[in-house]
Structure 1
Amino acid sequence: MAKPVQRMPGDERLKETADGVHLFGIRHLSPSGAHHLLSFLDEIRPTAVLVEGPSDASGLISQIASKGVVPPIALLAYTEELPVRSLLYPLASYSPEYQAFLWASKEGAACEFFDLPSGYALALHGLKEKTDSASAQDEEGRTRYIRHHNGLYERIAELADEPDYEAYWERYFEHNGNAGAYRSTIHSFSDQMRRMNSEDEYASWPQETAYTDIREAFMRRRIIETIAAGHLPSRIVVVTGAHHVSALVGDQSAMTDDQWARLPFAPTRLTLMPYTYYKLSSRSGYGAGNRTPAYFQLFWECLRDNRLSELPKMYMSKIAAAMRDKGTYRSTASVIEAVRMAEALAAMKGGSLPTWQDLCDASIVCLGGGEASVVADAHARIDVGTAIGVLPEGVSQTPIQDDLNRELRRLKLDKYKTPVAQSLELDLRENRRVQSEEAAYLDLNRSVLLHRLELLGIPFARKLPLKQDAATWAEHWTLQWTPETEIGAVESTLKGETIEIASAYVIHERLQTCADIVEAAKIIRDASLCRLLEAMDEAGRMLQALTVDSDNFERIAEAAFELSALIRFGSIRRHDTQSLVPLLQRLFLRGALSLSQAANCNNDAAASVLSAMQMLHTVAQEHYDDVDEALWIRELRELTSRDDRNPMLSGFSFAILLDRNEFSPQDIEREVSRRLSPGIPADLGAGWFEGLSKRNRYALLSRISLWEQLDAYIGSLDDEQFRRSLVYLRRAFAAFEPRERAAISDMLGELWGTGTDDASMLLQRPLTEEEKEKLDELNEFDFGDL
């Protein structure tokens, strides 16, 4: 959106032109404010209604007020360039602004937003954020400003003998049934609060004050422009936050053309989106929200139907019903007592109706037996609620939002558009019991969409680990629709007009900065999961180019492992992965030839090399027809025989070959004897055994000769060497399961001639304090060059 140009003659002053304009101060989520505003509009019958909000969004008001829209909804403004900055304007059905839109639409009055256009507001926000982050002094002033304001509200609640400011507001404003008194009281209250803040040295925060001044100067300008457009001041109603009312009257100047031209500007786009009650609540961090949006919806419905006196019993009945749904039953008598108690609490404060806090306290006592936890779930459902707004087709949305909604309907996922998390299990195999291809591969197509959303960072679906890793045809997701889902979809508009195009753009962006073979392999995998075949081919070419210069064994093994999984299960996703086989072969060859060099490392690096060996061996097992498995076995034998390589890695390679029955009994005995013979340093012998124990421990338990050699070796060590060996042995045996340790105890009992029961009791008894102290000393023991 280009920077708009408007002209206004001279330095107009509000007092000279706007006498008679009607100002109605509101709180943005106020049922009584909405109720009294409707009465005021019926009385004044304005020809123009100006509502606080971004003036460039005025064209969306008719859509907000259209049939089929079900609040809560939100107007979202966002910048057209990265990084995306956004402003949200949420609306509930009981928002005074929303009711003003409905009234103007019904009565044919002009209705417009009259606050700063979103492009200016977001640009100023960006400057404000930079200023705040640039100076610790500014941050200190901001903290002091927030602390002062919060303290002031807390002081007001304390003087009114209310538990908090929300309870104060509800009792003295929401329960104010006199329309004239409500309007004058809220204007007077806000004016006094504004005066107190302006006079207090601790209440200033220059950035926020300047931003507010700019907004109010522009709003005064818009009032003058509305009058210049032909509307009589007496037929204009201005609906704004009560804080601004006193600034929109008097002789203060409106924003001039020169001032407006000097404001920073960022191109923006606007859209509407469904919202939820939770995000509307202050519990989610929304500063202009209330704690209990669903409760205030009930308040609004009672107020609209002239049944506000019935609110306490309706509320308590809903709490009791919610408890009953969860299996906790309460009698009608308990509900009646809770209502009476709430009314008594209100009477003690001089109120005619209980506030939400009164109702909450009474429900805890009478329905929860004094325990808040008993009624906590019911309160969450009745106070905050799980409602999500609805926008019908044809209401302004971005192309990617429309595409997402179409895809959700096509894949029968629109029922998951709820703020309550739901589980979804997918079977990616063809369903042969249906007739159409679309139905046969429904779950597979669902998987593609969910992976695309995950790639785009749209928080709707989260993939969960499967209990059975081998079930490659299955996926388990949890789905939850939140306002962040809509925001993520809107922000993705900058990457493409459809989910598929935007996903391909993300893959292309990642490839532009990719300089690592593992990242390239992961990009290939993500492109496959998202069924982006052109991007998959592009990533394959990138991986091939990077492989030429790669000599890192761990990275090569990880990249090969990624490709292996993709090739094995490519048929499930219905696209050819055979073009990746030559890449896998090349990676495997380089990895196998790099093994010996990679094993020339210290113990800190050995853990990652061991993990890479495991991955490359898995590739050799699963693709024995494609890769040079014989070369891999030769390299493992070479490492097994080397005494100048990390002993743990030599032991691990020996364990791999042992699993494959590559050694005769004589070879095994010879190697074990060589590695665990007396005189071998503890870090070499015990380290080799640690590597050996990393695989197939049941095979180890079946070879009594190995344990005889280990027993003899440990017995040959002097005190210092023994303490060194404990470091490796503790690590090795820590990974053994209890039943494996029991089997070792039985085996050692036989070797020692003490009997299996005595050995088990001796080896598995709790440690004494002296033994614990000796083990603790190992943590501080200096092992020299280890």
Structure 2
Amino acid sequence: MSIHVFGIRHHGPGCARALRAALDELKPDILLIEGPPDAEHVLPLLTKEEMKPPVALLVYAADKPNQAVFFPFTHFSPEWQALTYGMQHNVPARFMDLPHAIHFARQRETDEENHSETPIEAEDEHKSTQSVAVPQEAEQLLQDDPLAMLSYAAGYEDHEGWWEQQIEQRLDTTGLFEGILEAMTELRSGRPPKNEEEALREAYMRQTIKAASKEGFQRIAVVCGAWHAPVLVDPEAHKGDTSLLKGLKKVKVEATWIPWTNSRLSYRSGYGAGIYSPGWYEHLWAFPGNATPHWMARAAHLLREQGMDASSASVIEAVRLAESLAALRDMPQPGLADAHEAILTVLCHGEQAPMNLIREKMEIGERMGTVPSDAPVVPLQRDLEMHQRRLRLKPSTEIVTLDLDLRKETDLGRSQLLHRLQLLHVPWGTPVHVSGKSGTFHEYWRLQWKVDFVIALIEANVWGNTIAEAAAAYAIDQARNTESLPTLTSLLNECILATLPRAVEQLLQELQKRAAVTADIHHLMRALPPLTTIVRYGDVRNTRADFILPIIQGLFERIVIGLPGACSSLDNDAAKQMIESINQAQSSVALLEIEALQEEWYATLKRIMEDEQIHGLVRGRCCRILLDQQILPEEELQRLTGLTLSPAVPATQAAFWIEGILQGSGLVMLHQDNLWRVLDGWVSMLTTDTFTQLLPILRRAFSGFASPERRAMGEKIKHLHTQTTQPTKSVTGQSSEASFDAANARLVLPTLAQILGVTFDDR
């Protein structure tokens, strides 16, 4: 019996090629591979034609799906090559790592001790291994990354470059695994496992090797991360593994295959491995020994697709430059760093923007794999796949924009599906506002599928076995457990858009209960916009507006009664919050276009506008709303402005009033000549200290206008000082010419001269 340990790097094309050659030579009768034994039952799916990497094994706790971990594979993953070798040669292949049924149980014990939530292992600590900063202490470096220790000793600052040159681009793999084993043995000499978790994992691996030996296998091939290789060569030399593993608790787990993407190969999950440039490694796998010319040609083709010049002569020059750089660095052939510099210099002419495209499309190479249709999935995921086929919505990692016409059956179905998924926290689609396009018959979405949506679907399956059932059940549960009226109305709006009649009926009942007892004016006003939006969708989604309007009217009556009192005694921050709520209520009233509601609302705003005890910001905003609606006559505006900006009013409150009235369209304000004259006169009367104090408020008041509008306002002020056709008026509204009496003024001049100590000359 012989044990052959192959220490590899996860996702390494050189390791994968060398491993395949070593297995062909060894012809093992069993393969033991670092991986989750919990997923062995889904390994036969590798033989299916639909299985196309990159893919990942997903292992998750059955009772808590967010406790999950991914094990990614691609063509150039050594584990993938080992598994496919076993399938092709009818050699049994087993995973030998510590089961995640134990991992998850240990995590829960730790979380209970720390009184914290269980982390999502699949999403946490996803870090790239692009480069490692060299710590001063070698021991610390060894703990952080043992490969970085070797690369640093070899004169490399970036261990990616060292591993790529020494391992992944190596053409002669003779003695490769022996060399890796020797190096790792030296690094681990006299050092115990890094932590208890690593000790348990390696003990379980040795136990698996011993079990295979007892079964009578003679040529045992062990494929593991290079760091573990030295402690697996002689399993019998390690005593105490049985006692170490005894009594470990387990939880029930599930496993399946899911599609994966190149970009996520850089994440550290499962066995904690990641690569910085999966597209480059895939290229090394496809073109061993001749990677540089093909890489440059691909780069030129990509740049030409974007309308940039990249001639054949430039490609040849880029290849020569990359080879020259490799020679200067005493390398047998160019690596990614050499190719990167050559492309930047020759094909991109030193511009970084095209290089970002090269990085995204080539070095990472976004691509999604596929898995067999009979791979284990939860019913909710199966229902989603059915809808995707029916509605012709294919998941893609590329960003796709949809313009949906809700009058068409297919587009309406797509909208309903995307809204239902949003309720279940699967944001496959994001609604997009398109400038210049409006109407209730159109929706615009930006779609991008992410592989970790599978976790959200597994979690959501507790609410139902179909997307519609799960979304409705989840919405009802959320409604019963929220006290916030705006949250409830937003949820109702989503249920209307998702066409969930059962949920809508339940939410309407909950809304009526909450509205009857809610006294918070802010909640009442902020609850209106979603409800008014629902009314506008009635024709397309067959929603009866007569169910919603009574609720809106009830909310509105309570708003107009309580709003004046709620606006009194507000500080600056509270005033800002109040006008935000008033703005939402105003947009709802304008959208409904119900005359009785509008009359009552604008009468309430007028009461607030005229109450001198209310904060100037709120009064100014109410004045502006009435002005925009052409309800405030010009004479009334002139009178109100004069009173508000009179010297009797504190300058700070006057400035806040100005800020409130200036909110909104700048074009409307440009036509209010009298308002500008009064504002100009008020600013002119301010002392230097007062003006300096109020300047931040005034600047903030004008900051919301676009640059062309601010320029037009500047011209407006300039013209005010040049106009002579109309006498200017003081802040009290009196004509300056009518109020100045030259004869009376001359009578006080002698007395004024005596006070000032000057000679009076009445000539």
User: Which TM-score band applies after superposition, normalised by the shorter structure?
Assistant: 0.7 to 0.9
Question: Which of 16, 19, 22 pairs up with 1:37?
Answer: 19
The residue identity in structure 2 corresponding to 1:266 is: V
- Cα distance, 1:714 vs structure 2: 5.8
1:160-199, aligned counterparts within 5 Å?
Answer: 160-162=154-156, 164-195=158-189, 198=192
CA distance in 1, matches of 2:148, 2:452: 31
- Residues 516-555 of structure 1 aligned to structure 2 (within 5 Å): 516-555=484-523
Paired position in structure 2 for 1:100: 82
The question of whether the paired residues in 2 share the 8 Å contact of 1:517 and 1:556 is answered with: yes
* 1:113-157 deviation per Cα after TM superposition (whole angstroms, max 9, x unaligned): 1212221123334556788999xxxx9xxx998654457544532
Change (3 A) 1:667 1:131: closer
1:196-215 aligned at under 5 Å gives the runs: 198=192, 205=194, 209-215=195-201
Deviations 1:500-536 (A, max 9, x none): 3332343234224301111111111121222222222
Residue type of the alignment partner of 2:467: I
| 1:239 paired residue among 211, 214, 223 | 223
**Is the Cα–Cα contact under 8 Å of residues 323 and 375 in structure 1 kept in the other structure?**
no
Secondary structure at 2:375's aligned position in 1?
coil
Moved more, 674-683 or 186-195: 674-683
Q: Secondary structure at the match of 1:225?
A: helix
Cα distance change, pair 331–742 in 1 and its aligned pair in 2 (3 A): closer
Q: What's 1:91 paired with?
A: 73
User: Over residues 597-622 of structure 1, what are the superposed CA-to-partner deviations in whole Å (9 max), with x where a residue is unaligned?
Assistant: 01202333222222322332333343
Choose which of 533, 536, 540 in structure 2 pairs with 1:572. 540
* SS of the residue 2:517 aligns to: coil
Query: Gapped runs of 5+ residues in structure 1?
Result: 1-18, 199-203, 303-307, 431-439, 756-786
Query: Which residue pairs with 1:456 in the alignment?
Result: 424
Q: Give the Cα separation in 1 of the matches to 2:600 and 2:80.
A: 73
Q: Answer whether contact 1:453 1:499 (CA < 8 A) is retained.
A: yes
Residue 467 of structure 2 is matched in structure 1 by 499
Partner residue in 1 for 2:249: 264
Structure 1 residues 533 and 184: CA distance shift in structure 2, 3 A: same
Give 1:76 shift.
1.0
CA deviations 1:275-304 (Å, max 9, x no partner) are 1111113699995122222222232233xx
Q: 2:315, 2:666 → 1: CA distance?
A: 63
2:754 maps to which residue? none
Q: Where in structure 2 are the equivalents of 1:221-300 lying within 5 Å? A: 221-228=207-214, 230=215, 232-250=216-234, 251-253=236-238, 259-281=244-266, 288-300=273-285
User: For residue 50 of structure 1, what is the amino acid of its counterpart?
Assistant: L
Q: Which residue of 2 aligns with 1:602?
A: 571
Number of residue pairs matched by the alignment: 703
Q: 2:586 aligns with which of 617, 622, 640?
A: 617
Secondary structure at 1:483 match in 2? coil
Q: Which amino acid aligns with 2:547?
A: S
**Amino acid in structure 1 at the alignment position of 2:576:** A
Equivalent residue for 1:775? none
Distance 2:610 2:359 in 1: 69
**Kept after mapping to 1: 8 A contact 2:142/2:148:** no
Query: 1:73 & 1:679 partners in 2: Cα distance?
Result: 74
Assess if the C-alpha contact under 8 Å between 1:620 and 1:627 holds in 2: no
Task: Determine the structure 1 residue equivalent to 2:735.
Answer: none
- Which residue is equivalent to 1:758? none
Q: What's the CA shift string for 1:317-373, capped at 9, x where partnerless?
A: 222222322333344344334434444555566654433334334444444456666
Distance in 1 between the 2:74 and 2:3 partners?
26
What residue identity is the alignment partner of 1:246?
Answer: P
- Asked if the contact 1:678/1:717 (under 8 Å) is kept, the reply is no
CA distance in 1, matches of 2:577, 2:79: 60
Any conservation in 2 of the 1:693–1:700 contact (CA below 8 Å)?
A: yes
Tell me the alpha carbon deviations over residues 721-753 of structure 1, each in whole angstroms, 9 at most, x when there is no partner. Answer: 766766665554444532234224323542698
Give the TM-score, by structure 2 length: 0.82
Letter of the aligned partner of 2:7 in structure 1?
G
| Distance apart, 1:680 and its partner CA | 3.8
Aligned to 1:421: 399
Secondary structure at the aligned position of 1:750 is classed as coil
Q: CA deviation at 1:274?
A: 0.7
Residues 679 and 377 of structure 1: CA distance in aligned 2, closer, same or farther (over 3 Å): closer
Aligned residue type for 2:233: V
Identity %: 28
Shift in Å, 1:592: 0.7
Q: Deviations over 1:440-486 (max 9, x none)?
A: 22222212222223333324322222214743333222222232334
8 Å Cα contact 1:681/1:721 also seen in 2: no
CA deviation vs aligned residue, 1:377-397 (integer Å, no higher than 9, x gap):
234423221221111322233
TM-score, normalization by structure 1: 0.80
Provide the rounded CA distance (Å) in 2 between the counterparts of 1:599 and 1:181. 82
Residue deviations 1:737-770, cap 9 Å, x none?
A: 3223422432354269899xxxxxxxxxxxxxxx
Shifted more, 270-279 versus 125-134: the winner is 125-134
- 2:373 maps to 393
Deviates more, 1:32-41 or 1:104-113: 32-41
After superposition, the Cα gap between the structure-2 partners of 1:299 and 1:133, relative to the gap in structure 1 and judged at 3 Å, is farther
- Please tell me the residue identity of whatever aligns with 1:169: W
How far does residue 211 in structure 1 lie from its aligned partner after superposition? Answer: 0.6
Aligned to 1:121: 103
Residue among 648, 659, 662 paired with 1:679: 648
Q: Give the C-alpha shift of residue 75 in structure 1.
A: 0.4
Any conservation in 2 of the 1:34–1:95 contact (CA below 8 Å)? yes
Using the alignment, how far apart are the partners of 2:664 and 2:355 within structure 1?
Answer: 52
SS of 2:527's equivalent? Answer: helix
Query: Which amino acid in structure 1 is aligned with residue 431 of structure 2?
Result: K
Confirm or deny that 1:381 pairs with 2:361: yes
Alignment partners' CA distance in 2, 1:351 and 1:635 = 80
Is the CA contact 1:581–1:626 (under 8 Å) kept in the aligned structure 2? no
Structure 1 residue 314 corresponds to structure 2 residue 298: no
The reply to whether residue 743 of structure 1 matches residue 716 of structure 2 is yes
Q: Which secondary structure state, in structure 2, belongs to the residue aligned with residue 476 of structure 1?
A: strand
Q: Among 31, 56, 78, which residue is 1:74 paired with?
A: 56
CA contact (8 A) 2:537 2:543 kept: no
- C-alpha deviation, 1:214, in angstroms: 0.5
Secondary structure at the counterpart of residue 85 of structure 1: strand
Distance verdict in 2 for CA 1:626–1:453, change over 3 Å: farther
Deviation at 1:703, TM superposition (A): 5.1
Aligned mates of 2:602, 2:336 — CA distance in 1: 73
Write the mapping of 1:122-141 to structure 2, written as runs, cut at 5 A: 122-125=104-107
Three-state SS of the structure 1 residue aligned to 2:35 is strand
Secondary structure in 2 aligned to 1:412? coil
Which amino acid counterpart does residue 520 of structure 1 have in structure 2? L
Which of the residues 320, 328, 336 maps onto 2:308? Answer: 328
Match of 2:385 in 1: 405
Q: Deviations over 1:676-702 (max 9, x none)?
A: 455344345554454444467666655
Q: How does 1:602-751 map to 2 (within 5 A)?
A: 602-625=571-594, 628-660=597-629, 662=631, 667=636, 670-694=639-663, 702=671, 704-707=673-676, 729-735=698-704, 737-738=709-710, 739-750=712-723
Letter in 2 for 1:465: H
Alpha-carbon distance in 1 for matches of 2:560, 2:344: 68
8 Å CA contact 1:459–1:488 kept in 2: the answer is: no
Partner amino acid, structure 2, of 1:66: K
CA distance in 1 between counterparts of 2:190 and 2:318 reads: 40
SS at match of 2:361: helix
Alpha carbons of structure 1 residues 335 and 470: separation in structure 2 relative to 1, 3 Å = closer
- Quote the offset at 1:265 in angstroms: 2.6
SS at structure 1 position matched to 2:369? coil
Answer yes or no: is the 8 Å Cα contact 2:6–2:177 preserved in 1: yes
CA contact (8 A) 1:682 1:724 kept: no
Deviates more, 1:115-124 or 1:660-669: 660-669
Report the alpha carbon displacement of residue 375 of structure 1 after superposing the two structures with TM. Answer: 4.2
User: Does the CA-based 8 Å contact 2:169-2:289 persist in structure 1?
Assistant: no
Structure 2 gap segments, 5+ residues each: 117-124, 126-134, 729-763
